[in-house]
Amino acid sequence: MKAPDFDYLRPSNLDEALGMMADSQGDTMPLAGGQSLMPMMNFRIAAPDALIDLADVAEMRGITHEYDSIKIGAMTSYMQLMSDPIVSAKIPLFGLAIPHIAHDAIRNRGTIGGSLALADPAAEMPALMLTLDATIEVAGKTGPRKIKADDFFLGYFDTALEEDELIVAIHIPTPNSDHQFGFHELTQRHGDYALAGVAIAVSNNSYRVALFGVADRAIRVPMVEAELARGGNTKAVLDNLKDIEFSSDLKANGTTRQRLAKVALARAIERMTL
């Protein structure tokens, strides 16, 4: 199948893009990397009246090291994240996770902002934002605002974004030199969405752990974080997954996802790296 007819808009700057979002009549959607949206349109799962292509919006691009954080433009692609020396040196968690995202063609075009706005529960980026204590900068007709990642993901493909808002940038606190990171995911085939995945960050014995692919959104697991901070053994840590309501679908039921999440968590802990 092919996408239904739609209007194509291509703003040259952020103000113009926000104006188009505010003035839109009918269902208008922003186009970032398009690696999820375009297939959804081809299958008629999504049928917007208009697309606003953000490719020329320079304010949404680039990676900069600010005073105490790293700012990543929403239109930054996965491959740009992988190749950026600041990100590689300061946040190696991206280097652990991004090779698991689909394949080269997708990583070349897909963007971090597009992934966060879609909020697919099996995608890696939402979980990384939770783990890295990120703040998501958005802008709309009422002006800019910042939303903590912990408050951004509300449910299945649902976020705190208002209809007229765009993700502009992501702000990640600069990790300390003692930070360690862990990541593991389990899929049917390499490049598929995760059946269960785990991202971990730790500094000064303070843990942040997020699961993805197991619920209606990426989720923090405070009980696991607390057990790791106490120095609990692997069994004690894994026992803290028993109270999570794991989702079921055609690929795996809740019991299977719980078992896979335990495997992913154990391997992520085992492979913790600076």
* Domains of the chain in sequence order: 60-173 (3.30.465.10), 180-270 (3.30.390.50)
**pLDDT over threshold 70, residue 1:** no
Which residues, including other chains, have CB under 8 Å from residue 198's CB and lie 6 or more apart? 127, 182, 183, 184, 185, 209, 210, 211, 212, 261, 264, 265, 268
Q: How far is the C-alpha of 257 from the C-alpha of 247, rounded, in Å?
A: 7
Measured between alpha carbons, how far is 61 from 70 in angstroms, rounded to an integer? Answer: 13
What pTM value is reported for the model?
Answer: 0.95
Kindly give, in sequence order, each residue whose CB lies less than 8 Å from that of residue 179, ignoring residues fewer than 6 positions away.
201, 202, 203, 274
Question: What is the structure's pLDDT at 274?
Answer: 64
Rounded CA separation 123/131 (Å): 14
Residue 237 to residue 4: CA distance in whole angstroms: 49
- For the stretch 186-232, pLDDT in tens is 999 988 989 999 999 999 999 999 999 999 999 999 999 999 999 98
